[in-house]
Amino acid sequence: MVRTLAHMAPRTDRTTLAVFLLVSVLAGGNAVGIRFSNRELDPLWGATLRFAAAALILLAVMAVLRLPWPRSRSLRGAALYGLLNFAAGFALIYYGLQELHAGFAQILLALVPLATLLLAVVERQEAFRWAAAGGGVIALVGVLVMTRGALSDSIPLLSVLALVASAFCFAQAAIVVGWIPEVHPVSVNALGMAVGATVLLVGSLVTGESQALPDLAQTWAAVVYLVVIGSVVVFVLFVVVIKQWGASRAAYALVLIPVFTVIYSVWLLDEPVGWELAVGGAFVLAGVYVGALLKARNPEPRLS
């Protein structure tokens, strides 16, 4: 039995790595999609449409698969995850991306792994790892290099603060997922997105936004991508990675994502590309390897 488990462990880790990389590739289009959405839709209303539709899809999947509804501690945890991740985190991102370019926004979201490590250690979910801290710094340098041109522009302070705050919301949400007892990732995200969409709708109504449906085909395309790929697929898979790797290690997807965001921005938004992409991308990949993929000889257990 022990031998069987020993052979299964590397295979499981390789599968988790594949899921981690897939999350990064797919989520790389989210910031670009939000930029398209914000061109026609008010920010809170755009986020409401996205997560309300995604929640309905996931609730339908729950019904088909006959997945149980979270209860007690799991219910509270999933609801808190929804408030932090989908309501607070994405309300701030949609607001910030009205002014900031998608690439520069990823600079700020690259703070997520360091914020997650800090909060996870303070809240005694994980032990401090020098590799995670060092990898986060290396990756952050890479993202800064990749978006060097954005730093020369005039940057609105409130938009920057909104993205920094969203990074800490995502970090805390990932830690909350780590505390939730065993619940299917679809169930966690179905409830979380439903809670998030409800709060976002209230915010949209209170702030006097227009609750109109898109008119432009490109806006519909962006919303469909954000709902199906950027929400349903990405967040279900991300919860799987968190459960397998822990919050701080899984959060390194947030520093790998900018590599793909820049590629998509060049392709879809005709943004220029230069040496910064190659050099910065190399730093990002090195940081992800050191912080998330490089195995310590004697890995430290989680704190209890």
Task: HSE, CB side, 13 Å, CA atoms: give it for residue 209.
Answer: 23
Q: Which two tokens stand for residue 297?
A: 């000889």
- Cα–Cα distance between 60 and 65 in angstroms, integer? 9
Residues 6+ apart with CB under 8 A from 290: 131, 134, 135, 138
Please say whether the beta carbons of 187 and 70 come within 8 A: yes
CA 80 to chain centre: 16
CA 43 to chain centre: 18
Task: Output the pLDDT for position 148.
Answer: 62
- Cα–Cα distance between 284 and 292 in angstroms, integer? 12
Quickly tell me which residue has 């279900």 as its tokens. Answer: 236
Q: How many other CB atoms are found less than 10 A from the CB of residue 214?
A: 18
CA 169 to chain centre: 10
55-81 tens-digit pLDDT: 999 999 999 999 988 888 889 999 999
Quickly tell me which residue has 């501690």 as its tokens. Answer: 73
Task: Give the chain's end-to-end CA distance (angstroms, integer).
Answer: 27
Q: Residue 138, SS3?
A: helix
Low-confidence spans in the chain with pLDDT less than 50: 1-10, 296-304
C-alpha closest to that of 91 among 147, 33, 159, 39? 159
248-293 tens-digit pLDDT: 778 777 777 877 877 777 677 665 556 666 677 677 667 767 776 6
Q: Which two tokens stand for residue 281?
A: 């991308």
pTM comes to 0.76
